[in-house]
Chains A and B, each alone.
Chain A
Amino acid sequence: MTFVVQQTLLFAIPLMIVALAGVFAERSGIINLALEGIMIMGAFVGVYFVRLMQDFDVFLDAARMGNYWTLQGLELLAMLVAAVFGALFSLLLSFAAVNLKADQTIGGTALNLMAPALVLFLVRILANQNTLQMTQGDAASWFMIKKSTFGVDKNVQWGFLGETFLNKVYLATYICILVFVVLSVILYFTKFGLRLRACGENPQAADSLGINVYRMRYAGTTISGALAGMGGFVYALTATNCTANGDVAGFGFLALAVMIFGNWKPLNIALGALLFGLFKCIAAGYGSIDINGDGVFMLAEIGISSHLYRMLPYLITLIVLSFTSKKSRAPKAEGIPYDKGSR
């Protein structure tokens, strides 16, 4: 059970935070199809930043001496850097969509093409291979919070809650949950949130009330870029052991599906992300899931092909969308360039 919860969270957290990234862009009126590309960018920048920092003695010593809190600091710093670069990268989309009134779908596609191309190009040149890794150690040895982090012997049992939520977890997971809650509150209970949502529904109305639609849309997309960049690094850190190879396995697109499934509302999105995380977890680890703890790996033993499990998340997404799409309600003005001068 601990395994299922941890694995589910592993997939659900990046999905959730990136789906929220989608919400901020779309609620301001910009379709951010580039989530995937921005994640790829964020993953690369974060991992590269970690690599660069590994040259500094302060972190090397910390890893050697078991000074975990310094390393947690490095993890947070890397998240921040990934967020900043994600935001910068998303400016390409905002500029095209807001200033040039470009087709947002195509603009997003361009970013999705750009990110893996640039990342692979650079990774190949920097690392002489197709995957960028940490120069020494890995995510588990440097960043994972374990019993030894607290100075506890690993044979000590912590009970279900402790084993699940304190042992073998990443701080990034909890930071993401915190950020998710804070931003959701901002979206609904602040002046900024109210105005942002107004721009995605009826920019003409917002403009007539003195709200700068262009600025709000830049703000929405930039927050979106920062979240997606951070989510990309969190995915790389927790799901692929702090490596970057110009690919996040379609998570950006899955996040879009989660966003639509969640009807552009944070609470529903959190639930949707958990659901999809669960299916991803089943797809990735169906062979080692022991549902009721009796030592029988039921999913593996029913004899269903591993191929089916692997396509399950995508199949479920489609099926769920089929049921929810009729009721779903996108922000009314999303995807439509706002032209102040249009009459």
Chain B
Amino acid sequence: MQSEYIIEMLNIRKEFPGIVANDDITLQLKSGEIHALLGENGAGKSTLMSVLFGLYQPEQGVIKKNGEVVTINNPNDATALNIGMVHQHFKLIDVFTVLDNIILGAEDTRMGFLQKQEARKKVEELSRRYGLKVDLNAKVEDITVGMQQRVEILKMLYRDNEILIFDEPTAVLTPQEIDELMATMKGFAAEGKSILFITHKLNEIMAVADRCTVLRKGKYIGTVNIADTTKQELSNMMVGRPVQLQVEKKDANPGDTVLEVKGLTVPSKIHKNDAVKNVSFQVRSGEIVCIAGIDGNGQTELIHGLTGLEKTSGGTITLCGKDISRGSIRYRSETGMSHIPEDRHKHGLVLDFTLEQNMVLQSFQSSRFQKLGFIKNDAVRAYADTLIEQYDVRSGQGPVTIARSMSGGNQQKAIIAREMDRNKPLVVAVQPTRGLDVGAIEHIHKELVAQRDAGKAVLLVSLELDEVMNLSDRILVMYEGEIVGELDPKTTTVQELGLYMAGAKKAEGGK
């Protein structure tokens, strides 16, 4: 008896210490369909896929293939069942060649020695057939993110996988590359391969998926046919309440120039070229300027050069009328800069410190918190209590909670509390909503708009197109270390923005 479904995950339950990541979740994948799995960050999508892929064992529930119960104890079992996955964070070995990455774990050998000729032929054939262009001899660290993704896809095809899982595949791609990927996925489906497409982007689901299963906070919400639903309905299912897809804000009312960057150049740590090339722009009080672009086009280095985390090799930075180009990190931030860093675990917090210690990370040397080099513990505690209250930072033990034990959203709130309370004229926010759920995102967007309305100059770096379009008053697009265009979000379209991000379009002479 042939089942209608190629893969079924029935009543899956998976617990981690302290939380139930998957609570009675059912997912049924039909042969030859593109099935979207929708949910917020932390809804349990990745956990469910890891269960299917054999990385985790569920406490309850069964997995069936073609109607028969199967056990998947490790990725080898999954591969044997022809299940393959493109992980959100690519599982590639940077120093290996593309070919070595593709064959790793499924090597041909003769007497223990690697035989790569057959493999090379097979990969070249697959690459041609599906139009997945890759350079087999290049090292992964030298190729673009888009090509890395194609390597991941080829890894699945090389293993003759029939069930393909894509975990948030579009986060790192330009709109044009996204279109290509969608076409590739449709091609796979047309050949009879079955696709699970994990995402939180509604547009993409509407564009390619046949059906969609929605998860929320580890629970199964429902499965719908895309033809019978709308974006708003999917969104409500995902979040559990009606969501404003649009950020509410008044028109900007820009004032004086707060930050003026002229000809800034930052050398790259990875390659010989400059990561930021001769970039000039300004940010005025009362406006949100957003730097858009695909990840890895110099945004990180630009901000590091601006804040002093990395040395610049040319150009001037003027903040509030003072030249800070050569200033120390401390001098820059004291001159008038708050900085919500890109990586809250790497830069934003000392995870092993308590919450209150983290709250004074920038200001412990002010006379408010120290006297003759001795820290005033009472003053620190009182200050931390105030911020916790004011910014609604939730944690287990209040000011003495170890930062590591807090949730991502609350960690970010703590950073925002610390940086906003410093009350500096320039707010630099780098991907402030990365990895957070809708509630937290809304909260942070409101805070940034409030800062703008209070007359702050806000410099936002974002990879999320929606965030760019909704939040900013001006958009600067970065491509390969240069600002290739300045756009007005009111008059531009996502498609046009995408062309700039992909480097296909370039404004002459900048502004």
Chain A contact residues, CB within 8 Å of chain B: 186, 189-192, 194-195, 197-198, 201-202, 204-211, 329, 332, 340-341, 343
B107 near A191 with CB under 8 A, answer yes
- Report the minimal beta-carbon distance from A196 to chain B, rounded to whole angstroms: 11
Question: Using Cβ atoms and an 8 Å threshold, which residues of chain B touch A208?
Answer: 53, 55, 75, 85, 87, 91
CB of A210 within 8 A of CB of B74, answer: yes
Query: Are B107 and A194 in touch, CB under 8 angstroms?
Result: yes
Q: A190-B112, A191-B107 known; 5 other A-B pairs, CB under 8 Å? A: A201-B96, A208-B87, A210-B79, A329-B95, A343-B46
Q: List 26 A-B contacts (CB under 8 A).
A: A186-B112, A189-B114, A190-B114, A191-B112, A191-B114, A195-B104, A195-B105, A198-B93, A201-B94, A201-B95, A201-B96, A202-B91, A202-B93, A205-B93, A206-B104, A207-B55, A208-B53, A208-B75, A208-B85, A208-B87, A208-B91, A209-B91, A210-B79, A340-B55, A341-B56, A343-B16
Min CB–CB distance B135 → chain A (angstroms):
19
| A207→B113 contact, CB < 8 A | no
> Which residues of chain A have C-beta atoms less than 8 A from B106's C-beta?
209
CA distance A204 to B107 in the complex (A): 18
B356 lies within 8 A of chain A by Cβ: no
B75 & A207 in contact (Cβ 8 Å cutoff) = yes
Cβ B114 vs Cβ A209 within 8 A: no
- How many angstroms from the CA of A254 to the CA of B31 in the assembled complex? 60
Query: Within 8 Å of chain A (Cβ to Cβ): is B76?
Result: yes
Nearest first, the 6 closest Cβ-Cβ pairs linking A and B are A209-B105, A210-B76, A205-B91, A210-B75, A208-B91, A191-B107
Q: Is the CB–CB distance between B55 and A194 below 8 Å? A: no
**Min CB gap A114→B, angstroms:** 29
Indicate the member of B16, B85, B107 with the most A CB atoms within 10 Å: B107
In the complex the two chains form, is B96's CB within 8 Å of A198's CB?
Answer: yes
Distance in angstroms from A311 CB to nearest chain B CB is: 35
In the complex formed, the residue of A with least CB distance to B74 is: A210
The distance from the CB of B488 to the nearest CB of chain A, in whole angstroms, is 41
- Point out the residue from A198, A329, A340, A343 that lies within 8 Å of B104, measured CB to CB: A198
Q: Enumerate chain B residues within 8 angstroms of A206, measured Cβ to Cβ.
A: 93, 104-105
In contact, A194 and B100 (Cβ under 8 angstroms): yes
Find chain B residues with CB under 8 A from A205 CB. 90-93, 104
Given contacts A208-B53, A209-B106, contact A190 B91 (CB under 8 A): no
Determine whether B109 belongs to the interface, using a CB cutoff of 8 Å to chain A. Answer: yes
- What's the dominant secondary structure at chain A's contact region? helix
Instruction: Give B3-32 as 1s and 0s: 1 = Cβ < 8 Å from A's Cβ atoms.
Output: 000000000000010000000000000000
Cα distance, A209 to B84, chains bound together (Å)? 10
The answer for the CA separation of A58 and B239 in the assembled complex, in Å, is: 83
Q: How far is the CA of A189 from the CA of B91 in the complex (A)?
A: 22
The secondary-structure label for the interface of chain B is loop
Question: Could you tell me the distance in whole angstroms from the C-beta of B379 to the nearest C-beta in chain A?
Answer: 35
Provide the residues of chain B in CB contact with A197, threshold 8 Å.
Answer: 93, 96
Tell me the nearest residue of chain A to B56, going by C-beta: A341
Q: Could you tell me the distance between the alpha carbons of A202 and B47 in the complex, rounded to whole angstroms?
A: 20
Which residues of the partner chain B approach A209 to less than 8 Å between Cβ atoms?
A: 75, 91, 104-106
Question: Once the chains are docked, how many angstroms separate the CA of A340 from the CA of B75?
Answer: 12
Q: Name the residue in B93, B96, B100 with the highest tally of chain A Cβ atoms < 10 Å from its Cβ.
A: B93
Asked if B105 and A190 make an inter-chain contact with CB atoms under 8 angstroms apart, the answer reads: no
- Chain A residues within an 8 Å CB radius of B76: 210
Closest A residue by C-beta to B75: A210
Give chain B residues whose Cβ lies under 8 Å from the Cβ of A192.
112
CA distance A6 to B254 in the complex (A): 79
Number of residues of chain B lying within 8 A (CB) of chain A: 29
- Which of chain A's residues have a CB closer than 8 A to the CB of B87? 208
How many Å lie between the Cα of A192 and that of B87 in the bound state?
24
Contacts of B96 in A (CB 8 A): 197-198, 201
Closest B residue by C-beta to A211: B105
Residues of B within 8 A of A202 (CB): 91-94
Report how far A207 CA is from B54 CA in the complex, Å: 10
Q: Contact between B114 and A194 (Cβ–Cβ < 8 Å)?
A: yes
Query: Which residues on the A side are within 8 Å of B53 (C-beta)?
Result: 208
Q: A residues within 8 A CB of B112?
A: 186, 190-192
Which residues in A have their C-beta under 8 angstroms from that of B79? 210
Q: Which residue of A lies closest to B17 (CB)?
A: A341
Q: With CB as the reference atom, state the residue of chain A lying closest to B87.
A: A208
A201 to B139, CA, bound (A): 13
Tell me, in angstroms, the Cα distance from A280 to B345 when the chains sit together.
45
B92-133 CB contacts (< 8 Å) to partner A = 92-96, 100, 104-107, 109, 112-114
Q: A289 → chain B, closest Cβ, in Å?
A: 41
Contacts of A211 in B (CB 8 A): 104-105
Contact with A along B131-167 (1 / 0, CB 8 A): 0000000000000000000000000000000000000
Give B297-337 as 1s and 0s: 1 = Cβ < 8 Å from A's Cβ atoms.
Answer: 00000000000000000000000000000000000000000
Given A191-B109, A194-B114, A210-B79, decide whether A201 and B91 contact each other with a Cβ distance below 8 A. Answer: no
Residue on A nearest B50 in the bound complex, by CB: A343
Q: How far is the CA of A209 from the CA of B79 in the complex (A)?
A: 8
CB A191 to nearest CB in B, in angstroms, measures: 5
By a CB distance below 8 angstroms, the chain A residues around B105 are 195, 206, 209-211
- A209 vs B92: C-alpha distance when bound (angstroms): 10
With A189-B114, A210-B79, A343-B16 known to touch, is A194 a contact of B104 (CB < 8 Å)?
A: yes
A201–chain B nearest beta-carbon distance, Å: 5
Interfacial chain B residues near A343, Cβ < 8 Å: 16, 46-47
Report the minimum CB–CB distance from A193 to chain B (whole Å).
8
Q: How far is the CB of B101 from chain A (nearest CB, A)?
A: 8
Residues of A within 8 A of B104 (CB): 194-195, 198, 205-206, 209, 211
Interface hub of A201, A210, A332 (most chain B Cβ within 10 A): A210
Instruction: Give, as a whole number of angstroms, the nearest-CB distance from A342 to chain B.
Output: 10
Query: Is the pair B93, A190 in contact by a Cβ cutoff of 8 Å?
Result: no
Q: Which residue of A lies closest to B159 (CB)?
A: A209
Could you tell me the distance between the alpha carbons of A186 and B55 in the complex, rounded to whole angstroms? 29
Cα(A133)–Cα(B88), bound, Å: 60
Residues in chain B near residue A191, CB distance under 8 A: 107, 109, 112-114
* A192 and B93 alpha carbons, distance in the complex (Å): 16
How many angstroms from the CA of A190 to the CA of B94 in the assembled complex?
19
Inter-chain CA distance A191–B113, complex, in Å, is 6
Centre residue among A201, A205, A332 by max chain B CB count within 10 A: A205
Chain A residue contacts of B92, Cβ below 8 A? 202, 205
Chain B residues whose CB sits within 8 angstroms of the CB of A204 once the complex forms: 89, 91
Determine how close the nearest CB of chain A comes to the CB of B112; give it in whole angstroms. Answer: 5
Please give the distance in Å from A209's CB to the nearest CB on chain B: 3
A204 to chain B, nearest CB (A): 6
Interface string of B57-97 (1 = CB under 8 A from A): 00000000000000000111001000001010111111110
Residues of B close to A190: CB separation below 8 A: 109, 112-114
Say whether, besides A202-B91, A208-B75, A189 and B100 are in contact (CB < 8 Å): no
Enumerate chain A residues within 8 angstroms of B90, measured Cβ to Cβ: 205
Task: Report Cα–Cα, A294/B30, bound state, in Å.
Answer: 87
Write the chain B residue with the least CB distance to A212.
B74
Chain B residues whose C-beta falls within 8 Å of the C-beta of A198 in the assembled complex: 93, 96, 104
**A197 to B97 Cα, complex, angstroms:** 13
Q: Report A-chain residues with C-beta under 8 Å of the C-beta of B113.
A: 189-191
Complex CA gap A340/B54 in Å reads 11
A153 shortest CB reach to chain B, Å: 46
A208, B53: Cα distance in complex, Å: 8
Residues of A contacting B100 in the complex (Cβ-Cβ under 8 angstroms): 194
- Report the Cα distance A211→B105, complex, angstroms: 6
